[in-house]
Amino acid sequence: MKICLFGASGFIGSNLALRLSESGAHEVQLCDVEDAKLRLRFENAPFAYEKVDISKDTDRVDELVRNADLVFDLAAFVHPAMFMSKPLDVVKLNFFDCLNVIQSCVRHNKRLIHFSTSEVYGKTGGSDASFKENETDLILGPIENQRWIYSCAKQLLDRMIFAYGVEQGLNYTLVRPFNFVGPLMDKFAKNWDRSDNPRVFANFMSSLVYDRPLQLVDGGQSRRCFTYIDDAISALEAIVAHPNEMNRQIVNVGNPRNEATIADFAQLMADTYVKHFDPSARPVIKSVASSDFYGKGYEDCDRRMPDISKLTSIGWQPQFGLEETVMKSMQYFVQNKTRLVELLGE
Ligand code: NAD
Ligand code: UGA
């Protein structure tokens, strides 16, 4: 099968690209605005990369979609700090530019796997129930809380993809990732920057390596289910391999057994770092107000617990527990620090 990935050099894209290529079953075309993570992931193995900016190269995007059997759309701005500092850029890329890719899939009748987000569910509204793709209400805060702009842009695109399926027969799967963690997630941030700091694992990893305090936003009582990237990629492979069962489905990808508060996650990372990587380290964990960390307009998703029955029904189960997820992810960053900084900056 000919598979085309947009956003292929991101965290998920680079890990997925390697696995799809290694399977030998597919011809894989990798498109992004840059290829640093692909170079890191593939090391010396060859890969088919083309520099394609989905916001500008619309004719080329259309050609690439026409030539493919399956299209993955992974291109997005994903850091919560950016939802606050550059909300219009987030909507432009995550909604309007991705819409071009989706419309090409409609035009050429191509199967699409589009990346939505667990953040679409928003807040729990006090419920303890896990998030179900076809049942759970999507609860976002007021407009002035700009944190929700990413969720809202992604939600509108989800609704349009659904409508393209109903009205024009688009074959698609909407994937909702729940806090994937692992090699090549974001990057080290030597100096913490409010406008573009990475997601929580990379933030804490940077703090440990550069001997800065790990910062718990508003005390770190929100909860997440951390999913090891290898489990996530296996789920994506299962989705690719079950086109009929997964067609016109929204699918949560996450590990419900790996739930932790952010405070507990920080403690686990700090303990793991001292025990396995730097016995002389003395990590400090401190609480910080969200208004200082992200600026005005931040509001959190209090809990994200996925219902994964759609994926278990096709035989997928996550394999990596929380300790192993943290250990393996940290190991990659520590062992590859020099190369990561060289290729991705810090
Ligand atoms: P990422 O930031 O690592 O990757 C995004 C990629 O998109 C980057 O390589 C970037 O260069 C590329 N890109 C940006 N602008 C582009 C453009 N104009 N044209 C082409 N490519 C462009 O993010 P990720 O974690 O790999 O996420 C991939 C997708 O999954 C996104 O849609 C994201 O919203 C979604 N998602 C991810 C997670 C997660 O746990 N990682 C969770 C929820 C949703
Ligand atoms: C992110 C973004 O929505 C998307 O990238 C993606 O859709 C989603 O993760 C996902 O991975 O599923 P969020 O989980 O809030 O959302 O982002 P993180 O930056 O990973 O933050 C997780 C939690 O840790 C939040 O409660 C945040 O306030 C907290 N945090 C973050 C800290 O306490 N300290 C930090 O240094 C960073």
Neighbours of 261 (CB within 10 A): 16
* 281-310 pLDDT, tens digit each: 999 999 999 999 999 999 999 999 999 999
CA of 185 to the centre of ligand 2 (A): 12
Which ligand sits nearest to residue 94's alpha carbon? 1
Neighbours of 276 (CB within 10 A): 13
Tell whether the model's pLDDT for residue 273 goes beyond 90. yes
* 214-254 pLDDT, tens digit each: 999 999 999 999 999 999 999 999 999 999 999 999 999 99
Neighbours of 185 (CB within 10 A): 23
Tell whether the model's pLDDT for residue 62 goes beyond 90. yes
Q: What angle do CA 21, 26, 31 make, to 5 degrees?
A: 65
Residue 214 backbone phi and psi in degrees, to 5: -80, 125
> What is the longest distance spanned by two Cα atoms in the chain?
61
Known catalytic residue at 49: no
Helix, strand, or coil (residue 71): strand
Tell whether the model's pLDDT for residue 196 goes beyond 90. no
- Mean pLDDT, residues 165-175: 98
Contact yes or no for 294/80 (Cβ under 8 A): yes
- Mean pLDDT, residues 135-148: 97
Residue 204 is encoded by which pair of tokens? Answer: 């804490």
CA of 232 to the centre of ligand 1 (A): 14
Residue 247 is encoded by which pair of tokens? Answer: 């067609």
CA distance 306 to 127: 13
What confidence score (pLDDT) does residue 102 get?
A: 98
What confidence score (pLDDT) does residue 236 get?
A: 98
Tell whether the model's pLDDT for residue 106 goes beyond 90. yes
CA distance 286 to 161: 42
Neighbours of 336 (CB within 10 A): 15
Contact yes or no for 109/168 (Cβ under 8 A): no
CA of 95 to the centre of ligand 2 (A): 20
Ligand 2 nearest-atom number relative to CA 198: 19
Tell whether the model's pLDDT for residue 44 goes beyond 90. no
Pocket flag, ligand 2, residue 179 (CB < 6 Å):
yes
Band (90; pLDDT cuts 50, 70, 90): very high
* Average pLDDT score, the chain: 97
The helix/strand count (H/E) of the chain reads as: 14, 13
CA 6 to chain centre: 14
Name the H helices within 171-261: 200-209, 229-241
What confidence score (pLDDT) does residue 286 get?
A: 98
What confidence score (pLDDT) does residue 306 get?
A: 98
What confidence score (pLDDT) does residue 195 get?
A: 86
Which ligand sits nearest to residue 197's alpha carbon? 2
Residue 250 backbone phi and psi in degrees, to 5: -100, 130
Residue 32 is encoded by which pair of tokens? Answer: 């992004």
CA distance 229 to 333: 14
Band (119; pLDDT cuts 50, 70, 90): very high
- Mean pLDDT, residues 308-322: 98
Can you give the pTM of this predicted structure?
0.98
Closest CA to 111 of 61, 158, 161: 161
In terms of Cβ atoms closer than 10 Å to its own Cβ (0-12, 13-18, 19+), residue 99 is middle
* 13-40 pLDDT, tens digit each: 999 999 999 988 999 999 999 999 999 9
Ligand 1 nearest-atom number relative to CA 75: 7
CA distance 119 to 181: 16
